[in-house]
Amino acid sequence: MTSDGTRQSRPPAPVETHPPLTTDVVVTGGLARRGQPLLPRIGRTVWSTLVGVGVVISHAWRSRDTIQYPEEMVYLPPRYRGRIILSRDPDGEERCVACYLCSAACPVDCIALQATTDENGRRYPEWFRINFSRCIFCGFCEDACPTYAIQLTPDVEMSEYERSSMVYEKEDLLISGPGKYHEHDFYRVAGLAIGGKGKGEAENEAPPSDVRGLLP
C-alpha cells in the first residue's frame, strides 16, 4: 500500500478485447456463418428449431429411463456390497470362527463379537453384532474373513424407523445357506484337528508329514 492508498504490487491488467457481438448466433442458431445471405440463414435457423421441436416430441414415444422403484428393482450384481450376512458351511455349521479379523479390519468399528468354543473345540462367536447405522459397506470385513463366513449381499433395502433397529444381532445376520461360496468348508481344508476329525483326514488333505522321517 502506498501513501495514497492504492495497491501497486500488480501492473494494470490489459484491457480484454472481445470480438464484436453480432446477431448471427441469434438469427442463425449458430448454424450459418457471417457473410452468407440473410434469408437462407433465417430459413435454416427456423428449420433447425422445428427439427429440434420434432426431436423433442419424438421422445414422447420412446421407452422410459426411469425405474419405478418400489415396483421395479434396479439390477444389483451378485457381488454388490449391500447388507452383511454370516453364512454357513455346506453341512449347516456356522462358518465363523470368531477370529476378530473382520472387527479389526472394519474402518468404522461397526462389528463387535465375542468368541467362544464348543464341546468339540470348534470356535464360534457367542454373539455377533453389526451396527448398520455406522457401516459404510466397504467390504473390508469380507476381504479379511479367512473362512468366507462374513459376506456382503446385493440387498440395500434396510431402512428403519428407529435407530436401534439398525443394530443387527447374530440371529439377524446368520443365514441358513453358504452364500457366495457353495462348496467351501473351512474345516475340511484347514488341516486342523477338530472334534470327529483328526489332522489331515479331510478331502484334499494329506496326513501330516513325519518330521523325523526325513532324516537320513
The three-point CA angle 174-151-128 to 5° equals 45
**CB nearer to other proteins: pick between 7 and 64:** 64
The three-point CA angle 23-26-31 to 5° equals 105
41-60 residues in contact with other proteins (CB under 8 A) are 49, 52-53, 55-57, 59-60
**CB nearer to other proteins: pick between 21 and 74:** 21
Least CB distance to other proteins at residue 157 (A): 18
Least CB distance to other proteins at residue 42 (A): 9
The closest alpha carbon to 156, from 170, 140, 135, 174, belongs to 135
CB-based contact 114:206 (threshold 8 Å): no
Q: How far is CA 54 from the centre of its chain?
A: 40
H helix intervals, 22-169: 24-28, 38-58, 101-105, 140-144
- Measured CA to CA, the distance from residue 191 to residue 194 in angstroms comes to 9
Query: What mask of x and - would describe binding to other proteins in positions 164 to 193, judged by CB under 8 A?
Result: ------------------------------
Least CB distance to other proteins at residue 58 (A): 9
Return the residue of 21, 39, 74, 211 that touches other proteins, per CB under 8 A: 21
If binding means CB under 8 A, how many residues of this protein chain bind other proteins? 20
CB-based contact 155:84 (threshold 8 Å): no
Q: Is 159 in the site for other proteins (CB under 8 A)?
A: no
Q: How far is CA 116 from the centre of its chain?
A: 32
Query: What mask of x and - would describe binding to other proteins in positions 117 to 156, judged by CB under 8 A?
Result: ----------------------------------------
57-96 residues in contact with other proteins (CB under 8 A) are 57, 59-60, 62-66, 68
Q: Which stretch binds other proteins (CB under 8 A): 24-32, 151-159, 193-201, 207-215?
A: 24-32
Beta strands in the chain (DSSP E): 84-86, 111-117, 123-131, 150-152, 167-168
Residues lying near other proteins in the complex (CB under 8 A) are found at 21-23, 25-27, 49, 52-53, 55-57, 59-60, 62-66, 68
